[in-house]
Amino acid sequence: MTDKFRVRFAPSPTGELHVGNARTALFNWMFARHHKGTFILRIEDTDETRSALAYQVNLLSDLQWLGLDWDEGPHKGGAYGPYKQSERLAIYAEHLKKLEKANLVYPCYCTEEELEEERQALILSKRMPRYLGKCRDLTAKQRREKEAAGRKPSFRFKVPELIIEFTDLIRGTMKFDSAAIGDFIIVRSNGMPAYNFAVVIDDFLMDITHVIRGEDHLSNTALQIMLYQAFGFMPPVFAHHSLILGRDRAKLSKRHGSVSVGEFRSQGILPAALMNYLGLLGSSFTEAREILNREEMIADFSLERASKSGAVFSEEKLRWLNAVYIRQSSADDLLEMLHPFLKEAGIDTSLLNVDKLNPIIDLVKNDITTLAEIGSNINIFFDEKYSMSSEAKHVLEKEGALNVVKTFAAYLQETNAADSDLYPAGIKYVKEKTGAGGRDLFMPIRAALTGKVHGPELDKIFALIGKDATLKRIKAIL
RNA sequence: GGUCCCAUCGUCUAGUGGUUAGGACGCUGGCCUCUCACGCCGGAGACAGGAGUUCAACUCUCCUUGGGACUACCA
């Protein structure tokens, strides 16, 4: 095996970054960092109709948000560039020529309609749908005729007859019979390289040592190995990890709900929590715990611990992890991430100073699962956001409830106790004066103070709201 | 249909021939003298089935069953 470690994440910018791809990126990144190797980002944008610059921009920002920094790639450069396939077209053309010269490739003039017909016919006759090599033995004259008729050829690789064998780092020995594989297209009729062709060339030229990717590429590997052999290239080590599944155990897709990094980001999932969860999914760490920061994950990462079977994505567990991360975060760090969510909740953070906001966040962070929940939990601390829920109203309608609230207000107005004593002394006073205790004592005060029946400890709430606001709120009720 | 991959609680997993099959999420009972949450203590919950190999199989082999991926001029 190699003592050098160069791995890559090679997404195509044709949509939002899917958590499955993010996990592949994470595995590659952890592998590189663990082995003090190089993590390369390559953009596979050879599908002109599906690729969009906006997706690429999005992709890079999602990766950065997750903290998956690359050593070579867009915005970063490197000795093996360019790192966008659309900028490497000359390289692919040159390699096509090599194969042509070796007589390992031929032009195919079939139209997509013709190919589709052939495919359907094969399916109907219950045979394997694959290209049968119609254009493989065209004469020079026949080719000239097709060209003259205005047909642009694609180029197909002449699949040799052999058994392809390779060792997968996660799955062990893999064996494929090329008889089941039809001559496949390596360059499309529009001149763009096809996936299997471009990856092989790029992975070799970029000196990739380990290809870590999803199980969905397992059968592609056979085609790619044939190409490595045709070029006389030394293939890298392959490792195919399992896929992320939806509830129904089918490959996780949009119909299963939220699947993109961007969606979780806007729902208020912390990048560290998503990273941690993705690292845990379909894998495990040797540590007996499940909450690990990035350094711990890197230190403990091993492909040997990657599971071979697919893993169902559990949003429940992600949310649990997220809540843990929120609770563990400092108010300063949270505030940074909370900005867009506070804004959305209609709270103008620019008007508030950190000294006031931080203690509130420190209290509220214990009650939220995602950052997006901040609004409904923080409202009780702002007079202009204060509102009475129907449950709270109900509490105040109970026998004696209003009297408790009134007595509390009366105490606050008359006392000259120090601020820190206000709440405990007030409660004691109300208890003695009204005889109320437990639920009957605290719930009316909670309802009056916050307009809600749930929330953090009352003494802490009171300390943050203060005497004046409390009196104002009670007056509004009476 | 063909090729390939996979199989431990509902879910994610530990386990590498001898264990009361462990943990986490979720569910659930109790405790924390206001609620919700947190936390703590407890509970229910799994080796898909069948043959072998072996003194001994969750663990090794084979078959069955079940699930999945691929089968594009997408990656």
Are A237 and A94 contained in the same domain? yes
Q: Write down which residues 96-115 in A have CB closer than 7 A to strand B.
A: 108, 110-112, 115
Say how far A309 CA is from B42 C1', in Å. 33
Domain stops at, among A346, A366, A383: A383
pLDDT at A1: 47
Are A228 and A97 contained in the same domain? yes
In a domain? residue A192: yes
In a domain? residue A416: yes
ipTM score for this prediction? 0.95
* Strand B and A366 CB separated by under 7 Å: yes
Asked if the peptide bond before residue A82 counts as cis, ω within 30 degrees of 0, the response is yes
**Neighbour tally for A5: CB within 10 Å:** 18
In a domain? residue A427: yes
Phi and psi at A235, nearest 5°, equal -70, 155
* Strand B and A120 CB separated by under 7 Å: no
Are A414 and A433 contained in the same domain? yes
In a domain? residue A114: yes
pLDDT at A383: 83
In a domain? residue A39: no
Nucleotides of B under 7 A from a protein CB: 1-8, 10-14, 23-26, 33-39, 67-75
Are A95 and A228 contained in the same domain? yes
Nucleotide with the nearest C1' to A114 CA: B73
Are A352 and A233 contained in the same domain? no
Place of tokens 């915005």: A75
CB A228 within 8 A of CB A200: yes
Q: Write down which residues 229-248 in A have CB closer than 7 A to strand B.
A: 242-243, 245, 248
Q: How many separate domains does chain A show?
A: 3
Measured between alpha carbons, how far apart are the two ends of chain A, in Å? 79
Are A167 and A186 contained in the same domain? yes
Domain stops at, among A241, A264, A281: A241
Phi and psi at A344, nearest 5°, equal -65, -35
The enclosing domain of A137 has a CATH number of 3.40.50.620
CB A142 within 8 A of CB A164: no
User: CA-CA distances (angstroms) from residue A49 to A14, A53, A467?
Assistant: 9, 12, 64
In a domain? residue A21: no
pLDDT at A351: 67
Domain stops at, among A191, A215, A241: A241
Catalytic annotation on A254? yes
Are A349 and A431 contained in the same domain? no
In a domain? residue A357: yes
CB A58 within 8 A of CB A16: yes
Q: Which structural domain, as residue segments, surrounds residue A218?
A: 88-241
Say how far A474 CA is from B33 C1', in Å. 26
The enclosing domain of A360 has a CATH number of 1.10.8
pLDDT tens readout for residues A215-227: 999 999 999 999 9
Are A378 and A425 contained in the same domain? no
Residues of chain A with pLDDT under 50: 1
Side chain identity at A312, as an amino acid letter? V
pLDDT at A123: 78
**Angstrom distance (rounded) from CA A254 to CA A256:** 5
* Strand B and A438 CB separated by under 7 Å: yes
Are A415 and A390 contained in the same domain? yes
Are A237 and A92 contained in the same domain? yes
Are A409 and A435 contained in the same domain? yes
In a domain? residue A452: yes
Handedness of CA A268, A270, A274, A280 (dihedral sign): negative
The enclosing domain of A451 has a CATH number of 1.10.10.350
Radius of gyration of chain A from Cα atoms?
Answer: 32
Are A351 and A422 contained in the same domain? no
Q: Write down which residues 52-91 in A have CB closer than 7 A to strand B.
A: none
